[in-house]
Structure 1
Amino acid sequence: MSLFLLVFAVCLLVSLATVAALMLSRTPRYRTQAQDLLDLFDAVLDNRASEARWNTLIGYPIRHDAFLENLRRRSQHLMETHGRPWQAAQGGSLFSRSGREEIAALRDHLATHQALEGREYRA
């Protein structure tokens, strides 16, 4: 009988600790930052980006930064007009040549914006 009570108490303690941990923890949030987009654009330009990685970052709305949300929407439009995901699955490029040129322009625009924003904070 004492063994039963000991096992019951330990199980109850573990269950209560688990419930308490779940109730006190917050929902995880992912916030896309400018560096995430820069890394994705670099991967696309180097033919290292997969369609899944592209859809993971570009398919998720960016609500905390209007500038990044605008870039995300422009990138979505580029995928619709210049995307070639079937070639990426076979080791090719995710975008056509003109699409990569536009991605390079977006990447340069974002990098310039980040440089100016960083300079603004330091001043």
Structure 2
Amino acid sequence: MALSLLVFAVCLLIFGGMIAILLLSGTPRYRTEPHHLLALFDKALEDRVDEGEWNAIIDYPIRHDDYLDSIRRRARQLMEEHGRHWRKAQGRPLLDSTGREELAALRRHLAAHADLQERKRNES
């Protein structure tokens, strides 16, 4: 009888602890920042990005920053217009030459905007 009470108490303690941890821990959040997009664009321009990584970042909406979301949507549109997912499987770049040029321009624009925002933040 004592052994069954001890087992019950230990199980109750373990389950109670697990429930407490789950209730007190917050939901993890992924927050896309400009440096994430810049790194992704760099990888895409150097042909080091795969489809999964591209889709994980580009297909995930950015709700905290409208400007970044517009950049993300533009990159997604570039992929729809100038990219084919099967190209990477054949060892070719994800985007054709026109798409790569437009992505490079988009990357320069985002880098300039990020630098400007950083300078404003440092001045304040």
TM beyond 0.5: yes
Corresponding residue of 1:7: 7
Equivalent runs, 1:1-123 vs 2, <5 Å:
1-123=1-123
Deviations 1:101-123 (A, max 9, x none): 11100110011111111111222
* SS across alignment from 1:106: helix
Pairwise CA RMSD? 0.9
CA deviations over 1:50-89 (Å, ceiling 9, x no partner): 1111111010110101110110110111011001210112
Describe the SS at the equivalent of 2:49.
Answer: coil
Aligned residue type for 1:59: D
Please list the CA deviations of residues 35-63 of structure 1 after superposition, one character each: whole Å capped at 9, or x if unmatched.
10000000000001111111110101101
Query: What's the CA shift for 1:91?
Result: 2.6
Inter-partner Cα distance in structure 2 for 1:91 and 1:44: 13
- Count of residue pairs brought into register by the alignment: 123
Tell whether the 8 Å contact from 1:50 to 1:89 is kept in structure 2 after alignment. Answer: no
C-alpha distance in structure 1 between counterparts of 2:49 and 2:89, whole Å: 10
So what's the TM-score if we normalise by structure 1? 0.96
Q: Structure 2 counterpart of 1:3, which letter?
A: L
TM-score (norm 2): 0.95
Q: Mind listing any 5+ residue stretches in structure 1 that lack a counterpart?
A: none
- 1:58–1:72: 8 Å Cα contact kept in structure 2? yes
- Code of the residue aligned with 1:46 in structure 2: it is E
